Amino acid sequence: MDSETSQEQVSIILTKGSLDWVYATLILASTAAAMGKKVDVFCSFYGVKGLYRNTSSLKVSPLANPAMILRLPVGPGWLKKIDWNKVLPQVIWIIPGMTALVTFAFKLQMKRQNQLPIDELRTLCLDLGVKFTACSMAFDLLGISESDLIDEIEIAGAATYFAESPPSQSLFI
**Digit-coded pLDDT (tens) for 99-136:** 998 899 889 888 988 999 999 999 999 999 999 999 99
Give per-residue pLDDT as tens, 50-97.
999 999 999 998 877 777 788 877 789 898 898 888 888 888 888 899
Partnered with residue 170 across adjacent β-strands are 11
| pLDDT value of residue 13 | 93
Is the predicted pLDDT of residue 39 greater than 50, yes or no? Answer: yes
What does the pLDDT average to over 32-48? 94
Quick check: pTM over 0.95?
no
Do 165 and 42 contact (CB within 8 A), yes or no?
Answer: yes
The reply to whether CATH 3.40.1260.10 applies to domain 8-57+117-172 is: yes
- DSSP secondary structure letter of residue 47: G
Sheet containing 9-14: give its strands across.
Answer: 153-156, 131-135, 38-43, 9-14, 170-172
If phi > 0 it is left, if psi is from -120 to 50 it is alpha, else beta; for residue 114 that is: left
Is the predicted pLDDT of residue 154 greater than 90, yes or no? Answer: yes
What is the biggest distance separating any 2 CA atoms in the chain, rounded to whole angstroms?
60
Using 50, 70 and 90 to split pLDDT, how confident is the model at 4?
A: low
Q: Which long-range contacts (CB under 8 A, 24 or more apart) does 159-162 make?
A: 160/133, 161/11, 161/13, 161/40, 161/42, 161/133, 161/135
E-state strands within the chain: 9-14, 38-43, 131-135, 153-156, 170-172
